[in-house]
Structure 1
């Protein structure tokens, strides 16, 4: 066996199932290297993908499929099967000819599915784990005073990640409802992962100092910290180790080394969104009615802030903006998400600041000419989150090759064209909306927010190379989408029902999903067995924000060298809890470790008493859930 070349051994191990390939890795260093071959796992990812399983299922059960899907899959299969009509005059054997054509067909189907780009390095072994391995949710230690059973824990009112120099998560930073800042260890290589490693004084952010008694500080801090309820209220600068925390209409700049406030900047209205913070680029601050640039290099302004009043509303249904003292005034509230694009990218006819929110158009600004509005792009949806990937947008019909006459050269040309894909998540007529827009230096493959381009309604051209956006408002979710992020070669988003869903980069093909309430139900011993609990849609926890543990702003500098098991997701829930979603690895139990340490000094009788209290609380919860299900059942009969 040792004398066989790697090519032959790789052909042999490629016949194994994924679970067997994992076991082969323990044989030797040579087999470890061969069984993690990226091209091998890329083919395995394709064979286990939803689109390939559908195609094979259609061949076996053609009469049990949706007619629309049948037509689509037959078109794809026809395109891949066109190779079988080719005849190589140098091959005389029919069997050899068939073998070669089958190989070309598999290569064509793999190329049509491939979600990666030519300049993107993907660890397909890790990608397969993230697609198919069992998920694990690990909850960070609760920030509290006293014991958990005393009910003195404090919820997080936001979340941000401090990344190390390699672009991996180092610390999780979150403001708490008592006005303090808590720091957790988020490093994947740390034994204290998930535990609290630092905590500021209570009342630090709202400015409630020790001149007040402890109970008054907590009560007043909770009223201030929970009043606005902004999701994008934390922005972490990993370069300068600074954090920006929005509390009502005040922006707090905090030194994360000392957890002390450096400066406070007031704004005329409550702050609703903060952009990414990356020195020396100014921070973009969005309030209910205005947009501002906050440059940390400038000293804080001491002049009084003038409030502006809009009289009569907008003259037209569109977004009207104006310059009032160096900032933008909006006629419709309010900005919920602000995205910064790199200024070093190739010019695509748009600015580098995108703003989305409760209004139905995305606002685009060029930082060099701020506060002048560069243009708008009409979406129709009310957006909760904006993000982007540093790769060109691939039109859906070109990505799937619906029409047989389009050649792979067109797909290759689209993938090699410089550009970005702008991704939005929100709500359209009560349902979830996941949308993608093309930002490219090629005018035929890009939206343009300039008013002169008449792009307020970015209707794609009929030509396949002219499509510049895709809107999924049918299959992504029956409830509003709350957050979206890029995760490997996929997109992940959360909705108002507590679901986390992964889709391919086409924005619609499902990869996997789970409900965080199902995990909680299984953990508490309720019904559901790890699936979705028996509760009405919308009940339970939701994921308000998704934070990748690999720095998204360094995505264009990334290679496939991210350590195995560290490309995970940090989630912030509606109940103010923080956790990590991982795949295929053991979940850490920071809360359990903290409980064990707290109970180590208790007497045996106290431990048994707390255990009985926890059992009683769980039993009461199950009883109340059963009662609510009965009430909903009776309500269905009009009682």
Structure 2
């Protein structure tokens, strides 16, 4: 095969299975290059996808399918106008050639229907295959107890954010701890230091509890303040200027990440519940229980004066007709509490009739603002769900009927939809006790975009899709874009990956599975009813462009912050990169006594049983509620 051209070699190795292709990469540099051919792995991703496996299973088991169900499947295919290319004369000499030609057309249409990429998007499908099908693992970051020699207790993280380098890759993990300090971990695979603590501030820095207090008082008061609000989006990192913003109760702390010193403290009238991204020079949008504010970091902090805020006409009704939009000191006053997630969209995008600030939370509608006219409300979009998290991908929304109701849609229709400029708004939350993931199109094409000032546009099936059946049986807590997929977490501690259509499953991971627990001490403290509160990709996906195209293999992972205050990294198809180093460091720490270990085991078992009892009680209440009781 040495003298064969690359084209013929590719045709030969295309018959190999993925494990054999991986072994072939060790033969020579030439076979390494050929075995990672992008089109080859794109085809393998398609052939191993859930949709294609389901289609082949139906074809193989057609004789075993119930006749009535088989009749419905065939009727659906006929409605979808599936490949009207039969062989007219099976006895003709060209019948075999025509059959092969028809099969090739069918295969091309199926591949185009599955293809999750967009024309301007560059995807490494070898890495995609690894992330879709290779074994996954969770590696937990070093515990924060090593930051202080006089403190042997583990301190839980009360939030998390990532500092990205100039290449858009995760460099540092920033997290506030329950004792009021800030801890920084190495988040990149460099020199075996990944997952280790590189810096930590003094205790009580964020709640402003100084050394004038004794140690126990400082820790106790700091812990009470850091855990009172419980906001998820309480950390925002400005990677360009190496600064981070931390929300503690009603105070926004601006911190220099080089010196870990507080640069300013800005008070707000109510406890802060959500922060937008920090991207200089764009002002940060700050959401409190009852208000929304724009915080311009370029403006020097002013000495706050005592002020009182009063909400007039507040109501718990699901209506935004009484939303106060007057300029009360440059902020918006809400009649319903609970902003939980704030998303900024690029101002330089194609005009889609919407503003660049989206707010979601415990209320059942999105709030949309144009920063140029803030605090005037641009409009609302009714969802019906109570949303926990917002994100977006810099590609247009593909109508669901192009992928699902018409599985053999024309490739030209899909190509035309993908070439349109636009963004896709992705929201996760809860609808009537079940998880809900929702997609909304923002495009310059009116027929495929929602408009916050016109509620009729949300009824357009070509502009939005809501999955409230198969997403999850419990509330969704966080959502993020990962490669060509979406990943979200739910209240059962499960991470689920789906295609960009929001419904087709790819894979899932339960963080409480014993198989995913490391053998170190921190691994023993993880799991047992834990949940993922926040998902953070290690590759920065700018809404103005695609993710970096030169992402090293095995580095496009996810960093998660759990409900128990743990921080971990979800990886695919690789050994624990930094777990061995951490085990050595953990082994040097003080080992708990046998009696303490048994007591902690009993506490975990008790917590697990209590969780099961509460879940059972919640299910009974939902069942009784269905009967009007």
TM-score by length of 2: 0.90
- TM-superposition CA deviations, 1:552-606 (whole Å, max 9, x none): 226714353211000000000000000000000112355x64553464498xxxx
Pair 1:51 & 2:39 matched: no
Contact 2:450/2:458 (8 A) holds in 1: yes
**2:558 aligned residue:** 569
| SS in structure 1 of the partner of residue 545 of structure 2 | helix
Superposition map of 1:286-365 within 5 A: 286-314=287-315, 317-319=318-320, 320-323=323-326, 324-365=328-369
**1:493 aligned residue:** 488
| SS in structure 1 of the partner of residue 245 of structure 2 | strand
TM-score by length of 1: 0.89
In structure 2, the gaps of 5 or more residues are 521-526, 621-629
Contact 2:434/2:468 (8 A) holds in 1: yes
Change (3 A) 1:446 1:77: same
Structure 1 position 87, deviation (Å): 7.7
Whole-angstrom CA distance in 1 between matches of 2:506 and 2:385: 24
Structure 1 position 22, deviation (Å): 0.4
**1:60 aligned residue:** 60
Contact 1:75/1:403 (8 A) holds in 2: no
- TM-superposition CA deviations, 1:438-476 (whole Å, max 9, x none): 0000111100001xx234x71115xxxxx1000000111
Contact 1:249/1:268 (8 A) holds in 2: yes
Pair 1:113 & 2:114 matched: yes
Cα RMSD for the two superposed structures: 3.2
Q: Which of these residues, 577, 582, 586, is aligned with residue 588 of structure 1?
A: 577
- TM-superposition CA deviations, 1:395-443 (whole Å, max 9, x none): 1111235276x53222111110000000000001111000000000011
Contact 1:271/1:288 (8 A) holds in 2: yes
**1:414 aligned residue:** 417
Contact 2:435/2:473 (8 A) holds in 1: yes
Structure 1 position 544, deviation (Å): 0.1
Structure 1 position 393, deviation (Å): 0.2
Moved more, 482-491 or 320-329: 320-329
Change (3 A) 1:162 1:351: same
**1:93 aligned residue:** 94
Whole-angstrom CA distance in 1 between matches of 2:268 and 2:615: 49
Change (3 A) 1:110 1:66: farther
Change (3 A) 1:101 1:148: farther
Structure 1 position 93, deviation (Å): 2.6
Change (3 A) 1:634 1:292: closer
Moved more, 361-370 or 79-88: 79-88
**1:529 aligned residue:** none
Contact 1:268/1:305 (8 A) holds in 2: no
Moved more, 183-192 or 149-158: 149-158
- TM-superposition CA deviations, 1:269-328 (whole Å, max 9, x none): 000000010011111000000000011111112241522111332597422132211110
**2:4 aligned residue:** 4
Change (3 A) 1:144 1:72: farther
| SS in structure 2 of the partner of residue 101 of structure 1 | helix
Pair 1:241 & 2:230 matched: no
Superposition map of 1:233-272 within 5 A: 233-272=234-273
Whole-angstrom CA distance in 1 between matches of 2:286 and 2:70: 45
- TM-superposition CA deviations, 1:125-158 (whole Å, max 9, x none): 1000000000010000011158999861100000
| SS in structure 1 of the partner of residue 355 of structure 2 | coil
| SS in structure 1 of the partner of residue 244 of structure 2 | strand
**1:516 aligned residue:** 511
Pair 1:378 & 2:382 matched: yes
Superposition map of 1:157-236 within 5 A: 157-236=158-237
Pair 1:425 & 2:413 matched: no
- TM-superposition CA deviations, 1:494-518 (whole Å, max 9, x none): 0000000000111001000011011
Whole-angstrom CA distance in 2 between matches of 1:307 and 1:150: 40
Contact 1:146/1:152 (8 A) holds in 2: no
Contact 1:250/1:265 (8 A) holds in 2: yes
Contact 1:112/1:401 (8 A) holds in 2: no
